[in-house]
Amino acid sequence: MKIKELGLDDVRSVDWNEDENFVQLIDQRLIPFDFKINNYTSVVDLCDAIKTMVVRGAPAIGSTAAYGVALAIKEIEKEDNCNKKEKLDEKMEMILATRPTAVDLANFVFKTYTTAIETNYSFEDTLLKARSLTDEMVEECKTIGDRGLEIINDGDAILTHCNAGPLATVDYGTALAPIIQAHRKGKGVKVYVDETRPRLQGAKITAWELEQEGIDHEIIADSVAAYLMSKNKINKVILGADRCLKDGTISNKIGTYSIAVNAKYHNIPFYSSFPWSTIDHDSNSAEEFEIELRSEDEVKSFVHKEGKILIANPNSKAFNPAFDITPPKLISGYITAKGVLTTEELVQKIKEK
């Protein structure tokens, strides 16, 4: 990704420094107010970075964890006469415990760990595995962007929600990938960015990412999107997905469903963009989704560096679901590395696997 003010043209949110063997993370906690790349030379510090949300976004966390296994091998190399298997298992457990529910993290860690075991704890091979897993994912995002290009026209005004950009996926992003690729290829696009209450990932992170790429955009309160649709100011919706069922039902950040209903009402195409790993091959119906209920505090307060400010009636309760569910009948297409698919095509390809 580009970092405009630093004049950087090709930065990843997660990377391995070849010269000095450490993990580099863009500190996402500081975005959009500050930009800093942190270096991590020990597994303990890297685990702390995952726990404290220096890195966020399932794929970016996965990549960080994979590099963490390489870092673990490096640490083990320095110790004399240790039981390598025991030591590695210990460090792997530590990495897995940072975000116990993150699927990509577990997946990436196990693959890298397996390579480490199979190559008799070879640092070079383990690092190569971590890097290739990361590269594959970045490549998939780039392909999502390239395939998604077909639905973006010069002059499009696109609505997006929450954040599914390069920071979260190491590079390119999912929902933002086609937009970034279209812009880089000279298509003039305008993006309306839902601020995405309560955590404001759109106003903070997506808007910052679009600024870095120099893409024309405006932040709006979430309730403004429907009004813009009625005024023909939005002609496309592209957003991500946290999970996609076998029938094409998606769960994504709260607010997605409201946009989908409004898009349908205004005959505006609605696309969800995601890597293939987002597909949940086990769940059968939307009834199985458990919607995470988060703290009232996120709605009732605004958290900032020095503390939090109450922004609602103190004695009122708040209801704060993290996600909602959008059925396939409201989805015009799925932007994936296998192409922009209809629900029928998506379901078929899932079955093929």
Kindly state the number of chain residues that form the binding site for a copy of itself, as judged by CB under 8 A.
Answer: 56
Does position 270 bind a copy of itself by CB under 8 A? no
Does position 224 bind a copy of itself by CB under 8 A? yes
Burial of 256 (0-12, 13-18, 19+ CB in 10 A): buried
**CB of 4: closest distance to a copy of itself in angstroms?**
9
Region near a copy of itself per CB under 8 A, out of 57-65, 79-87, 107-115, 220-228: 220-228
Does position 166 bind a copy of itself by CB under 8 A? no
Interface mask toward a copy of itself for 230-269; x: CB under 8 A: x-----------------------xx-xx--xx-xx----
Does the annotation count 80 as an active-site position? no
- CA 117, CA 17: separation in Å to the nearest integer? 23
Region near a copy of itself per CB under 8 A, out of 82-90, 101-109, 133-141, 317-325: 317-325
Tokens describing residue 291: 């919607």
- Return the number of the residue (80 or 287) whose C-beta is nearest a copy of itself: 287
DSSP state of 40: E
Does position 192 bind a copy of itself by CB under 8 A? yes
For 20, 52, 178, 254, 293, the CA distances from 197, given in Å and listed in that order, are 40, 21, 24, 8, 14
Tokens describing residue 274: 């995601």
* Catalytic site residue from 15, 156, 242, 324: 242
Q: What's 4-35 look like in SS3?
A: HHHCECCCCCEEEECCCCEEEEECCCCCCCCC
Tokens describing residue 8: 């950087």
- Return the number of the residue (139 or 298) whose C-beta is nearest a copy of itself: 298
The strand pair at 250-253 and 323-326 is best described as: antiparallel
Q: Max CA-CA distance within the chain? A: 71
User: Do 145 and 181 meet the contact criterion of CB atoms below 8 Å apart?
Assistant: yes
* Residues designated catalytic: 242
**Binding site residues, a copy of itself, CB under 8 A:** 32-33, 192-198, 200, 203-204, 207-208, 210-211, 217-228, 230, 254-255, 257-258, 261-262, 264-265, 299-300, 302, 304, 309-321, 324-325
